[in-house]
């Protein structure tokens, strides 16, 4: 049974609660970040993403699950932007929590965690958009979110590369965050892909368990819908339709 509309868990109020928490959390982390210019660069996409979610709140309200997953990812990203990803002191935090010593040597892997979380946490909201806007079903409802996650992860790596080339210096190095690893971009994309695979396999397993027509919907999504070839055949058909329409409009 859904929570009443007066509850903070309602579809109307829950996104506003998460937005308020994100603004408060981000506001705290905006105080004296380790590298102010890098903080601004890192958060440019965050501000744009939140703006899109707010703008589409009425026309495309997402589920509470999707909003929660997005919120968690943005919180992880905000921490990385505050410290710069290569300097997040997670080792010190682990040492404080466990009461033991944690080695401070080696690569800082916080950026790896966030790239993995990008796929793990955002693949499901992407799937929800595909199902509700593009009306995809079956196989495509799992493959396309994975595909978009991989594509956007690649686009982000290209943005990082371009920004590092244009900005150069300390800011470029801080934003790129490769920490000397020549395969950093490939590893980041692989982690995002792995996270998305886990998210979609988990979603498919739950649907297989509880969705009665799961197998039929999957099979139907892979059935050929049209036996007519496209490409040059479709172009010829369109050209003929256009000529026929012109002839009807101008019989002379």
213's tokens? 């027509």
pLDDT of residue 210: 95
- The pLDDT-based confidence of 227 (bands split at 50, 70, 90) is confident
pLDDT of residue 177: 63
pLDDT of residue 176: 63
- The pLDDT-based confidence of 28 (bands split at 50, 70, 90) is very high
Return the higher-pLDDT residue of 167 and 16: 16
- Gap between the Cα atoms of 149 and 37, Å rounded: 27
Cα angle 206, 59, 151; round to 5: 55
Instruction: Indicate the range of 95-99, 102-106, 231-235 predicted with least confidence.
Output: 102-106
At residue 242, the 3 state secondary structure works out as helix
Domain-wise residue ranges, the chain = 14-247
Highest mean pLDDT among 29-38, 95-104, 165-174, 194-203: 194-203
- Gap between the Cα atoms of 177 and 173, Å rounded: 6
Of 138, 134, 133, 132, residue with least CA distance to 223: 138
- The pLDDT-based confidence of 77 (bands split at 50, 70, 90) is very high
pLDDT of residue 4: 65
63's torsion region: left (phi>0), alpha (psi -120 to 50) or beta? beta
pLDDT of residue 104: 64
> Residues 128-141: what's their mean pLDDT?
96
CA atoms within 13 A on the CB side of 18: 25
- Gap between the Cα atoms of 238 and 206, Å rounded: 43
pLDDT of residue 79: 95
- If one counts every other C-beta atom within 10 angstroms of the C-beta of residue 64, the result is 16
- If one counts every other C-beta atom within 10 angstroms of the C-beta of residue 26, the result is 19
- Gap between the Cα atoms of 139 and 215, Å rounded: 10
Instruction: Flag whether pLDDT at 38 surpasses 70.
Output: yes
């Amino acid at each position: 049974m859904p929570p009443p509309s007066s509850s903070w868990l309602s579809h109307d109020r829950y996104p506003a609660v998460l937005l308020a928490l994100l603004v408060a959390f981000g506001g705290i982390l905006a105080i004296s970040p380790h590298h102010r210019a890098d903080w601004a660069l890192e958060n440019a996409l965050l501000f744009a993403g939140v703006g899109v979610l707010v703008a589409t709140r009425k026309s495309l309200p997402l589920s509470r699950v999707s909003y929660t997953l997005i919120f968690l990812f943005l919180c992880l990203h905000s921490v990385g932007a505050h410290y710069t990803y290569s300097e997040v002191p997670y080792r010190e935090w682990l040492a404080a929590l466990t009461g033991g010593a944690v080695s401070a040597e080696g690569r800082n892997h916080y950026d790896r965690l966030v790239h993995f979380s990008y796929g793990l946490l955002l693949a499901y909201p992407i799937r929800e958009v595909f199902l509700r806007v593009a009306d995809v079903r079956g196989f495509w409802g799992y493959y396309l979110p994975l595909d978009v996650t991989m594509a956007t992860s690649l686009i982000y790596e290209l943005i990082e590369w371009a920004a590092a080339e244009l900005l150069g210096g300390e800011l470029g190095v801080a934003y790129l965050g490769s920490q000397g690893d020549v395969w950093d971009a490939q590893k980041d994309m692989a982690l995002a892909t792995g996270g998305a695979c886990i998210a979609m396999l988990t979603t498919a397993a739950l649907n297989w368990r509880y969705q009665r027509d799961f197998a039929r919907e999957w099979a139907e999504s892979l059935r050929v819908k049209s036996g007519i070839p496209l490409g040059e055949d479709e172009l010829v058909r369109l050209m003929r339709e256009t000529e026929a329409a012109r002839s009807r409009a101008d019989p002379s």
